[in-house]
Amino acid sequence: MRSTIRNPRPGRALAVAADGRDARAASVRPALLKVALVGAGIGVLAASAWISVPFYPVPMTMQTLAVLLVGGLMGPRMGVAAVAGYLALGLAGLPLFHGGIGGAVVLAGPTGGYLMGFVPAAFLMGLAGRWTASRPSGRLSTLWRLSMLVAGALLAEIAIYALGLPWLALVTGLDAGRVVAVGLLPFILGDLVKMAVAAAIVHGGRSVMPGRSLLPF
C-alpha cells in the first residue's frame, strides 16, 4: 500500500508564519520610532546651539529651552539619550556646539559644566513631563500640570547652573561673586521666559502627541 504525507493544516501554518512576521514588525516599529525621536532631539539641540549671541565667557543660546522641550516631550530616558548623543557627537568633533564648533576643547572650556548639566536637566524635566501627562483633564488639573512643569523646569535650570558655575570658576579662576555676575545674572530673565514657554509647549504637546501615537509613552 502506497502512503502519502500531507500537511494536515497548511492554512494554519501560513497563519502562524504571518503572525510571527507581524509580531516582529510590531517590535521593530517602536524601536525605530525611538531612534528617530532621539535623532530629532539631537537635531533640535544642535539647531538651538547655532542660535547664539556672543557673550564672554558664556554665550547666550536657545539651548536651555531646547533641553527643557526635549526632556519634557520625550521623557526622562529618551531625553537623556538625546542629550547624551548630542554631547557625544559634539565631543567627537561635529560642529554641534555654540557658534558651530565642536570637539573636546568645548567641554573643557568655560561652558563645559553647563553642557554637562543638560543631562540631569533633561532627566528632571522628563520626570515632570511624564508625571503631568498622567493627570486627569480639567481646569484645576491643568493648573496643577502647568505648575508641576514650571517646577520641573526650575529644577532643571538649577541642575544646569549647579554644574555650570563651579566649572566656570575652575576654568576661569574667577571668584564666586564674579562667576555669578557673568555666569548667572545675565541669563535669569531669559531663563524665566524659556521656562514659561517650555511649560506651555510641553503641556500642549504631551496632551496631543501620545493620543496620536507620536510618542512612545
Which domains does the chain possess? Answer: 10-212 (1.10.1760.20)
pLDDT for position 116: 96
pLDDT for position 126: 95
pLDDT for position 86: 97
pLDDT for position 26: 47
pLDDT for position 52: 74
Exposed / middle / buried, residue 154 (Cβ in 10 Å: 0-12, 13-18, 19+): middle
Whether residue 57 contacts residue 168, with contact meaning beta carbons closer than 8 Å, is answered with yes
Enumerate the H helices of the chain as residue ranges.
10-50, 63-91, 104-107, 112-133, 139-172, 176-183, 188-208
Which residue stretches of the chain have pLDDT < 50?
A: 1, 14-18, 23, 25-26, 210-214, 216-217
Three-class SS of 122-170: HHHHHHHHHHHHCCCCCHHHHHHHHHHHHHHHHHHHHHHHHHHHHHHHH
Whether residue 183 contacts residue 168, with contact meaning beta carbons closer than 8 Å, is answered with yes
pLDDT for position 137: 66
Residues 6+ apart with CB under 8 A from 176: 169
| Residue 213 cell numbers, joined | 501615537
pLDDT for position 216: 46
pTM of the model: 0.81
pLDDT for position 61: 85
The helix or strand, by DSSP H or E, that contains position 52, with its residue range, turns out to be strand 52-53
